[in-house]
Structure 1
Amino acid sequence: MSDGGGRPAPETAHAVDARIEGWFADRGWQIFDFQRETWAACAAGESGLIHAPTGTGKTLAAWFAAVGDWLNRAEDDGITPGLTVLWITPLRALAADTTAHLAASAAELGLNWTVERRTGDTASSVKARQRRRLPSALVTTPESLALLLSYAEHERLFASLDVVVVDEWHELLSTKRGVALELCLARLRALRPGLRTWGLSATLANLEQARDALTGGAPGRLVRGMTPAATHIDALVPETIERFPWAGHLGTRLVQPVIEALEAAESTLLFTNTRAQAELWHQAILRARPDWLARVALHHGSLDRALRERVEAMIADGQLACVVATSSLDLGVDFSPVDQVIQIGSPKGVARLLQRAGRSGHRPGVASRILCVPTHAFELVEIAAARRKALAGEIEAREPLTGALDVLAQHIVTRALGSSARGGVSEQALHAEVTATLAYRDLGDAAWQWTLDFVTRGGTALSAYPEFRRVDRVDGRLTVGDRRIARRHRMTMGTITSDAAMSVKWLKGGRIGTVEERFIAQLTPGDVFLFSGRLLELVRVRELTAYVRAARRRKRHVPRWAGGRLAISGTLADAIRGLIEQARDGDYREPELAAIRGLLEVQRQWSALPGADELLVEHVTSREGRHWFFYPFAGRLAHEGLSALVAWRLARMHAATFRFSVNDYGFELVTRSRVEFSAAELRAALSSENLIDDLLACLNAAELSKRAFRDIARIAGLVFPGYPGSHKSARQVQASSGLVYDVLARYDADNLLLDQARREVLERELELGRLRGALDRIDGQSLRLVSPRRLTPMGFPLWVERVASQVSNESWRDRVERMTVQLEKAADR
């Protein structure tokens, strides 16, 4: 918990309890205006969103708003109150830290309160006790809250609740977890009509929309924190920069200058974008400085909780010089501020960069510092673009998710289960709760009745199977009468879906963490992999547990976790296009542009540097065939759909078979067919007309939808992943959901979950909004078609992407190195 110090706030009509004033005075802290504003608004019965930079005291603003209101209203009769404050956190890792700080401040104020947490890590004995009586303040996750609402006693447990605080609301906002939480909050408001809800957020653009999602569209206060201190964003520029870079080619080659940066600071957080990258950098640092073994630690979400907590405690105690981490530490886990933050690779988004930079300084009035280390030369442009947007105060919005019927179906079962002991929940009352959320405000009656039919009968195609009749519907009331269904529902609640996680344990010893099943499935006993900063040898696999021992051989694999395909944000893409145009006009004032001037000049001489008002398309002929390189700068996910769309449309004009590759800047199409495309044909292939129909036609839409349907089926309760100790494999779950998909597609083609799967493929997998935006922008751009004699600096990374994905007897890295040498010689000439 950071201090709330700052300039004195002016007098307000709200009287702050003397104990809170004294608590701040004892620490030599002064109270911010926005904290007093929050306290006054909460005392007046308002809800709202607090938006403030990391480390400026927004946690204290929310906590003391709830505590101060209770102190002003309640008589201190020495009796410990029941649940008064509910604190929702998106990460279990934050729960322990938050609980400790809230409990400490409550004790320092002399409150006779109990403060506890309830997450998946909480002991079953503690959970059983909490079901009898909740503490005065409970720190929990959205999933644990939903589970509490499924019990018959939930009305009694929440009867005294006054304030809900949702921490890191921006992390939940545009996800199904956020939708599920909106539904839970609607239930709590129905139980407690005067309930106040406060959210905490940083680095977010669409604040009003975020607030409305939190409050269910009811009027709410938007409290803005203090103006953030300066953020210094610098790039580590390599001594030599290749003119033909490719993604990741720098890898850990810059470890020596990073070591020098670590030596210059007392403490550093080194962030990577993926867990695999964190493992590699942790090993690289220790290989360069083995004497730092006790001073460098690793932290990511797949490590065992005990290991993570040990690292967090060592950070707080100042025992570590460097922690290599992923997003597991860029949220609200509290510790003393570090001297510097290092970001490996492009941050991919302005908000992510500022969030991580805020971990240095981390207190009012102190500037944050972040050093960005590129993994290839073009990332220097991304770093400069992120700094430009950050300094301009332009960050990304996170759009709330709406209309997810799989989440709604799960919630209906939860509510019916939680009300079964009282005769069930009224359909009318439940509908009123659901439509009081922003996520389902526009829910039509047809969709509502369809969802009710789905949970009570299984819908049209599944009504003959008893296991899909989960809710009993009698006289307008919904109940769950089958104890087996109740048990299975509680075991599978939540919206977090991923590949099955396998525990990694020592052959003789404790648990190390988890990796995804698909990674372990690629290994055989005796294979070596890098995990938790160690080289481990796989001994055997039993019941979703991989048993390992310390490896002696050095050759190893690195686990690949889901979620590693980060794409640049639209905000960042706009700035990148502007910088490329700046370089085209000969303006290299940005130090990162100056560093790669040689690369950009070769691109300009051999082809072109596109302006923001033009689309560059390169046509190159090689021994592989004919290549077309397109550069819309729309991000990797949008380019995946765009490349398939353009290839399909071009193939309809002239018979050809295309292979393609994509990155954040563009995509490549290559064919062996002897075809030529005019500028007019290329323009037609880039039209936004009939976009959705053509996308569905060119992609394997059924297969993509079936993949998306797996997660929907799990959330909606159509697929049961198994009981503890006998979980189904990811392959089994996929097969089960695939069978259900085929049945629905054949016998219930109008099933709304199938429609949702198709929409999610377009919106989430292919970023339809950005894809459409890119085509609309292209429509207003001039088409610049050039024919370089060889691969250009911008086209080379796309060529490498494709070569690396091909199976060949020849080492693709050797092939890339040879091509690099050839191109560098040509550039020298």
Structure 2
Amino acid sequence: MKTPPFRPAAWFTRQHWKPFAFQREVWAAMAAGDSGLLHATTGAGKTYAVWFGALARAQAMGVPMAGRAPPPLGVLWLTPMRALAADTTRALEAPLAEVAPAWTVGRRTGDTAAAERSRQDRRMPTALVTTPESLTLMLTRAAARDDLGQVHTVIVDEWHELIGNKRGVQVQLALARLRRWNPGLVVWGLSATLGNSQEAMAVLVGGPGGRLVRGRVPKVLAIDTLLPADPGRFSWGGHLGAQMQQPVVEEIDRSGTTLVFTNVRSQAEAWYQLLLSARPDWAGVVALHHGSLDKSVREWVELGLKEGRLKAVVATSSLDLGVDFLPVERVLQIGSAKGVARLLQRAGRSGHAPGRPSRVTLVPTQALELVEGAAARRAARAGQVEGRHSPAKPLDVLVQHLVSVALGGGFEADALFDEVRSAPAYAALTREEFDWAVAFVERGGDSLGAYPDYHRVQRDEHGVYRVPDAGIARRHRMGVGTIVSDSTMPIEWVSGGRLGHMEESFVARLKPGDCFVFAGRALEYVRTRDMTAYVRKASSRRGVMASWSGSKMPLSSELADAVLALLHDAAQAAADAGGAAAGRPPPRRGAFAEPEMRAAWPMLQAQLRLSHLPRPGRLLAERYRSREGHHLYLYPFGGRNVHLGLAQLLAWRFARGQPNTFSISINDYGFELLSALPLDLAPLLDGSVLAAEALMHDVLASLNSSALARKRFREIARVAGLVFSGYPGAPKSTRQLQASSTLFYEVFRKYDAGNRLLSQAEEEVLAQELELGRLGDTLARMRTQRIDLVELPAPSPFSLPLMVERFREQLSTEKLADRLARVLAAAEAALDAPPARTIARHDIAPKA
């Protein structure tokens, strides 16, 4: 039977829709066999652009649309989150009855039931929605080529979430394998927030020559800020949180379904409690969603959002991505999103349909976040969105891939080397590095040769490497993937039923009878048995907030530059209006046309009276003497990761010339060096302490680099398959995993010093945890800046948050409040004194 012509526009018409020009462009490109990237705003119609393009590609190849037997697996749809898979499957199935009735769509993720997996093993669907991990598992099957060799189209959803991490590298390697089996493979990526779309497309399609389509759909995007009634002249992290409780409640009350985003899970738990304490009648219509909650809880929340039954959901990045919640009308962001791309991504969760406006409202938790809010809006309007870059040749992912391919039919070294090098992440891989990885999985390197468990592959008489042992194969398949986090343990009621998972390190600190808040409930810890923590409902609502060890997100370079530019405009406007001493806010133009900047004026005015405002081309340095010692504050605006490395580096270099003892505090704007002895600032003023020479050596020397590398090696060891996390029902504890990885680390250091996984650990510490590239750029910028050195009579609004960060690590909540009261009293008194008698300003340029 002849297949009827495929007319996607006709189906759109029957839905009372009209295809956008970019959708037609993608359909034509994919039908012609082109690969590429679709970059369009959230909710613009990207899914049907590439899905109908995949159908058009299939028809151009002669794949039947109608008939009794469904065509074999031809389309893979990769999604970064399991939660997206169900929504995507429904969206792909919707038009098939009319446009391709013979086609079937299936879903294969870690949540797929065993019965459904068995059905798929007997006959794969025509299109399969899956994750990078599940695709890699399919590549480990002996019949992988038979199952996947006819795949003609791969679509990678939310590519911006994958490209910058090892999961994206895993995708690149899988695509390289599929291209080897089908050189005509068409690959398309979807993204809404990428600042380097050309580079991202080249990484996805395997080189230059892809088709970049931009979906320019008129869409209203509103970014505004919920202004606090009294931001004050001094503020610090979390200072405005309680003050914003009632305004947030009022915004939710007057809006439709609202998503309240936080940056970390502990903050989500806290805000869920704040909402319910203000509105107990919202119990049941306000929900909590984050990655540690049980799957059944998360699914209940997601369904409630889709059906419009929930008034509000407090969430983390677990709801960042493209799950389609049409009822969502408003998005609130608690605190700074720390990046323009993340802010736009979260804004797109509201009005998630073509033509509907999207709105995100920022809720500042400190006064400086008012400035960030205004800067983020300006940066978003100017299209200053962060780029994402692929990691360069991570050998732990390569080691895992070698074993996967050896399981999936085996490999010949020469052919696989060429295949791996076709993945952009490994374009610079040398044959020596590849041969080391092969030898490592074959013999365990120079130090594990005596242990059969690490002889994971074996070369046969034909030169093909395969996995010879069923036990090794089973353990490898259970460890496939690059998502590595601290071990967690289930949290269950004593009476039965699961609440979710908590990090083992948090549970280990609890004693029977201790109370903590998790999953929006006050719980009493009862006992731990068989790696499960049992709890009961606490009699009191009071308890310590559950905490996770995940690091805070650093301020992006794009947003930092936007903040500095805005502060420069503010300083100029204040000077034109008669200076900070004039007491009145500058006219409502320029920087102060932004409502956030007008709200932040008391803080900015106090900063100008006591010090300067940071600005491009100038490095603000503040010096202050207290009972604790000698404080030096610097504000490079490099983000917290860079500032950690910078603070350690400068302290080490200062102490090298003048022995001293330092305490360090950091945030996204700057860092504090607190020294026991007076600090000679000559090396700063002449630029020698900022020198680029021996940067990597000095950074490693200034840090406890072996401890950082050992921690990073734990993750590498698990990805590379050295450490096994345990079988279902018998997981290994965090202590066991750490002990195992530490043992490998020490063995390699002593007996296999050339082990490339060790050097990878050091490189990842520098590149990812300390952002050495950005650190070097920040140092280079600091060397060209003029230095504004200010002697502070009291902590400034910019230095106080750094002081509070350090206090929090040393003091209880009560003692912290007392200490802050004294500091604030001194600062307020200094503001009331004449500026000329309290400030000494120096404008000193570093030597070239």
Q: TM-score, normalised by structure 2?
A: 0.93
1:74 Cα offset (Å): 2.9
Q: 2:104 is matched with which residue?
A: 114
Corresponding residue SS for 2:622: strand
1:160 Cα offset (Å): 2.7
Query: Which residue, out of 446, 450, 464, partners 2:436?
Result: 450
Query: Which residue, out of 153, 156, 172, partners 1:163?
Result: 153
Query: Which residue, out of 786, 799, 824, partners 1:820?
Result: 824
- In 1, are the aligned partners of 2:606 and 2:797 still within 8 Å (CA)? yes
Match status 1:704 vs 2:708:
yes
Amino acid at match of 2:600: I
- In 1, are the aligned partners of 2:610 and 2:831 still within 8 Å (CA)? no
CA-based RMSD of the aligned residues comes to 1.8
Amino acid at match of 1:88: L
For residues 61-91 of structure 1, what are the alpha-carbon distances to aligned partners after superposition, in whole Å with 9 as ceiling and x for unaligned? 1111112333452333321122121111000
Query: Which residue, out of 399, 408, 413, partners 1:409?
Result: 399
Q: 2:40 is matched with which residue?
A: 52
1:809 Cα offset (Å): 10
For residues 528-581 of structure 1, what are the alpha-carbon distances to aligned partners after superposition, in whole Å with 9 as ceiling and x for unaligned? 222221112222212222222211122212222243411110000101111121
Match status 1:485 vs 2:472:
yes
**Is the alpha carbon distance of 1:675 and 1:201 closer, same or farther for their aligned partners in structure 2, counting shifts above 3 Å?**
closer
Corresponding residue SS for 1:719: coil
1:626 Cα offset (Å): 0.5
Amino acid at match of 1:51: H
Corresponding residue SS for 2:224: strand
User: Structure 1: which 5+ runs fail to align?
Assistant: 1-14
Query: Which residue, out of 49, 63, 68, partners 1:61?
Result: 49
In the alignment, the residues of structure 2 paired with residue 437 and residue 539 of structure 1 have an alpha-carbon distance, to the nearest angstrom, of 50
Please give the residue correspondences for 1:505-524 in structure 2 after superposition, counting only pairs within 5 Å.
505-524=492-511
- In 1, are the aligned partners of 2:231 and 2:240 still within 8 Å (CA)? no
Corresponding residue SS for 2:359: strand
Please give the residue correspondences for 1:362-441 in structure 2 after superposition, counting only pairs within 5 Å.
362-419=352-409, 424-441=410-427
In the alignment, the residues of structure 1 paired with residue 817 and residue 87 of structure 2 have an alpha-carbon distance, to the nearest angstrom, of 45
Q: 1:5 is matched with which residue?
A: none
In the alignment, the residues of structure 2 paired with residue 271 and residue 576 of structure 1 have an alpha-carbon distance, to the nearest angstrom, of 22
In the alignment, the residues of structure 1 paired with residue 630 and residue 441 of structure 2 have an alpha-carbon distance, to the nearest angstrom, of 53
Q: 2:680 is matched with which residue?
A: 676
Please give the residue correspondences for 1:625-640 in structure 2 after superposition, counting only pairs within 5 Å.
625-640=629-644
- In 1, are the aligned partners of 2:305 and 2:327 still within 8 Å (CA)? no
Q: 1:134 is matched with which residue?
A: 124
Corresponding residue SS for 1:461: coil
1:200 Cα offset (Å): 0.6
For residues 498-553 of structure 1, what are the alpha-carbon distances to aligned partners after superposition, in whole Å with 9 as ceiling and x for unaligned? 00121112222322211211111121222222222111222221222222221112
In the alignment, the residues of structure 2 paired with residue 675 and residue 702 of structure 1 have an alpha-carbon distance, to the nearest angstrom, of 28
Amino acid at match of 1:94: L
For residues 7-49 of structure 1, what are the alpha-carbon distances to aligned partners after superposition, in whole Å with 9 as ceiling and x for unaligned? xxxxxxxx99555333211211001111111111111111111
Q: 2:195 is matched with which residue?
A: 205
**Is the alpha carbon distance of 1:307 and 1:807 closer, same or farther for their aligned partners in structure 2, counting shifts above 3 Å?**
same
Q: 2:605 is matched with which residue?
A: 601
Match status 1:530 vs 2:517:
yes
In the alignment, the residues of structure 1 paired with residue 432 and residue 112 of structure 2 have an alpha-carbon distance, to the nearest angstrom, of 41
Query: Which residue, out of 24, 37, 48, partners 2:12?
Result: 24
Corresponding residue SS for 1:649: helix
1:646 Cα offset (Å): 0.2
Query: Which residue, out of 8, 14, 22, partners 1:34?
Result: 22
In the alignment, the residues of structure 1 paired with residue 287 and residue 7 of structure 2 have an alpha-carbon distance, to the nearest angstrom, of 40
Q: 2:545 is matched with which residue?
A: 558
Query: Which residue, out of 59, 78, 88, partners 1:88?
Result: 78
Amino acid at match of 2:401: H
- In 1, are the aligned partners of 2:37 and 2:201 still within 8 Å (CA)? yes
Amino acid at match of 1:463: G
**Is the alpha carbon distance of 1:41 and 1:294 closer, same or farther for their aligned partners in structure 2, counting shifts above 3 Å?**
same
Deviates more, 1:129-138 or 1:629-638: 129-138
User: After the TM superposition, which parts of structure 1 deviate over 6 Å for at least 4 consecutive aligned residues?
Assistant: none
1:308 Cα offset (Å): 1.5
Corresponding residue SS for 1:811: helix
Corresponding residue SS for 1:538: strand
Corresponding residue SS for 2:624: strand
1:733 Cα offset (Å): 1.1
In the alignment, the residues of structure 2 paired with residue 17 and residue 662 of structure 1 have an alpha-carbon distance, to the nearest angstrom, of 63
In the alignment, the residues of structure 2 paired with residue 557 and residue 211 of structure 1 have an alpha-carbon distance, to the nearest angstrom, of 46
Corresponding residue SS for 2:438: helix
In the alignment, the residues of structure 2 paired with residue 301 and residue 672 of structure 1 have an alpha-carbon distance, to the nearest angstrom, of 43
- In 1, are the aligned partners of 2:6 and 2:99 still within 8 Å (CA)? no
Q: 2:274 is matched with which residue?
A: 284
Q: TM-score, normalised by structure 1?
A: 0.95
- In 2, are the aligned partners of 1:276 and 1:560 still within 8 Å (CA)? yes
Corresponding residue SS for 2:447: helix
1:790 Cα offset (Å): 1.5
- In 1, are the aligned partners of 2:30 and 2:56 still within 8 Å (CA)? no
Amino acid at match of 1:431: F
1:409 Cα offset (Å): 0.4
Q: 1:238 is matched with which residue?
A: 228
Match status 1:770 vs 2:774:
yes
User: Structure 2: which 5+ runs fail to align?
Assistant: 575-590, 834-848
1:722 Cα offset (Å): 1.7
1:400 Cα offset (Å): 1.2
- In 1, are the aligned partners of 2:74 and 2:127 still within 8 Å (CA)? yes
Match status 1:326 vs 2:316:
yes
Q: 1:497 is matched with which residue?
A: 484
In the alignment, the residues of structure 2 paired with residue 727 and residue 20 of structure 1 have an alpha-carbon distance, to the nearest angstrom, of 49
In the alignment, the residues of structure 2 paired with residue 17 and residue 513 of structure 1 have an alpha-carbon distance, to the nearest angstrom, of 50
In the alignment, the residues of structure 1 paired with residue 124 and residue 212 of structure 2 have an alpha-carbon distance, to the nearest angstrom, of 30
1:679 Cα offset (Å): 5.8
- In 2, are the aligned partners of 1:84 and 1:161 still within 8 Å (CA)? yes
**Is the alpha carbon distance of 1:513 and 1:808 closer, same or farther for their aligned partners in structure 2, counting shifts above 3 Å?**
closer
Please give the residue correspondences for 1:237-386 in structure 2 after superposition, counting only pairs within 5 Å.
237-386=227-376
- In 1, are the aligned partners of 2:6 and 2:56 still within 8 Å (CA)? no
1:675 Cα offset (Å): 4.0
Corresponding residue SS for 1:529: strand
In the alignment, the residues of structure 1 paired with residue 660 and residue 56 of structure 2 have an alpha-carbon distance, to the nearest angstrom, of 71
Q: 1:686 is matched with which residue?
A: 690
For residues 682-739 of structure 1, what are the alpha-carbon distances to aligned partners after superposition, in whole Å with 9 as ceiling and x for unaligned? 7322222211010011111111111111101111111112222222222221111111
Corresponding residue SS for 1:268: strand
Deviates more, 1:19-28 or 1:165-174: 19-28
Q: 1:147 is matched with which residue?
A: 137
- In 1, are the aligned partners of 2:325 and 2:352 still within 8 Å (CA)? no
Deviates more, 1:724-733 or 1:671-680: 671-680
- In 1, are the aligned partners of 2:641 and 2:770 still within 8 Å (CA)? yes
Aligned residues: 811
Match status 1:473 vs 2:459:
yes
Corresponding residue SS for 1:180: helix
Amino acid at match of 2:125: P
- In 1, are the aligned partners of 2:85 and 2:130 still within 8 Å (CA)? yes
- In 2, are the aligned partners of 1:298 and 1:532 still within 8 Å (CA)? yes
